[in-house]
Copies of this chain bind each other. A is one copy, B any other.
Amino acid sequence: MWPTKKWDPRGQFCYVTGGSSGLGLAVAKALTNMGAHVTIVARNEERLTKALAELEELRQNPNQVICSYSYSLTDADSSNAALEVASKDHGGKYPDAVFMCAGAATPGFFVEEDANSMRKGMDNSYWVQAYTALAYTKAIVRDRTSGKLVFISSLLGYMSMLGYSTYSPGKYALRGLAETLRSELILYDCTVHIMFPGNIDTPGYAEENRTKPKVALEVDSSDKPTAPDVLATQLIHGVQRGDFHISPDILSNIFRSSTIGATPHHNVLLDGLYAVVGWIGLPLWRQGVDSKVLKHRNEHDEYLAAKGFFKTVL
């Protein structure tokens, strides 16, 4: 069911969404460096061209097929089309692994969201990966071939706090989808992996901080952003080991073990240690965040009043 031999990306067809920047680009570079055939898909053509040039520089041999395509992945038809086009470069063979790194967060206060921003948040956190997973799974099952689904969730798929009402639900939903598929794809030859990284040092993270509520920024400052290439290495190692949940650092391991439920363990003893640390530490951490939020009440009330939010401004 799970591979016992370490997976080797060399000569494998790897499909990386969000591959033009941030974590996706770092994953594409690491895979290229390991001798894989790499296709990146993203929206921005300019960034794709630049990214493709960076990948070409890392080419290990002349046979590596390295391609880029511009598609929107928050649309189902377009997600299908991207996968079909990418497969054509390989004579109709679908990828050996899909790394679903596309995604974005736009934090804000719940009372300032509307149906449109909530939907858009779900598109950019969940559907941007779920549509690709659906298209890919159907394709490889139909072809009776094997595959790997690699999702990128977030620490915000293990816990949440103020500011993330448009993002955390989608990252939790990805966990729900991955948990379902880990079980269901035992019916075929497809392994499922999902990483839960904290903050990543990318242009997307800088963008996200522009709309992030002040208290969330304050809480966030304790989680220093990790370089995308460090996470890319962790991600690929996790897939190589056959890990289902991939937790790239201690914090992520603590949250993984503290929310493990029926999810497979890595190392039952070490995970037990993480779980005990989480059992004691996480409630204290949460109480700290809660009291920061509580202290922010008056300031927040003034903020909403200044924006004309209340029916009667006090």
A-side residues, CB < 8 A to B, are 1, 76-77, 109-111, 113-115, 118, 122, 126, 130-131, 134, 137-138, 141-144, 156-165, 168-177, 179-181, 183-187, 255, 258-265, 272, 275, 278-279, 282-283, 285-286, 289-290, 293-294, 296-297, 300-301, 304, 309-311
Contacts and interface: CB of A to CB of B under 8 A. Distances in A.
Number of copies: 2
A293 to B, nearest CB: 5
B261 A158 contact: yes
Binding site secondary structure of chain A: helix
Contact of A187 (B142, B143, B162, B262): B162
Given A163-B184, A168-B177, A261 B290 contact: no
A185 B253 CA distance: 28
Contacts of A286: 262, 264
B180 A174 contact: no
A310 B144 contact: yes
Contacts of A279: 260, 272, 275
Given A1-B290, A131-B115, A175-B172, A310 B142 contact: yes
Query: Which 3 pairs, one residue from A and one from B, show the smallest C-beta to C-beta distance?
Result: A172-B176, A76-B115, A162-B184
A121 to B, nearest CB: 10
A1 B144 CA distance: 55
Contacts of A174: 169
Instruction: Indicate the member of A110, A181, A265, A304 with the most B CB atoms within 10 Å.
Output: A110
Given A111-B141, A137-B110, A169-B174, A261 B258 contact: yes
Contact of A168 (B76, B180, B255, B283): B180
Contact of A113 (B134, B156, B157): B134
B122 A138 contact: no
Contact of A293 (B137, B157, B186, B255): B186
Among A163, A180, A255, A286: residue with most chain B CB under 10 A? A180
Contacts of A278: 261
A195 B283 CA distance: 20
Given A111-B137, A261-B282, A286-B262, A173 B169 contact: yes
7 contacts: A122-B122, A130-B169, A162-B183, A165-B177, A170-B176, A183-B290, A184-B293
A119 to B, nearest CB: 8
A138 B156 CA distance: 23
A283 B262 contact: yes
A161 to B, nearest CB: 4
Indicate the member of A159, A163, A183, A265 with the most B CB atoms within 10 Å. A183
A278 B261 CA distance: 7
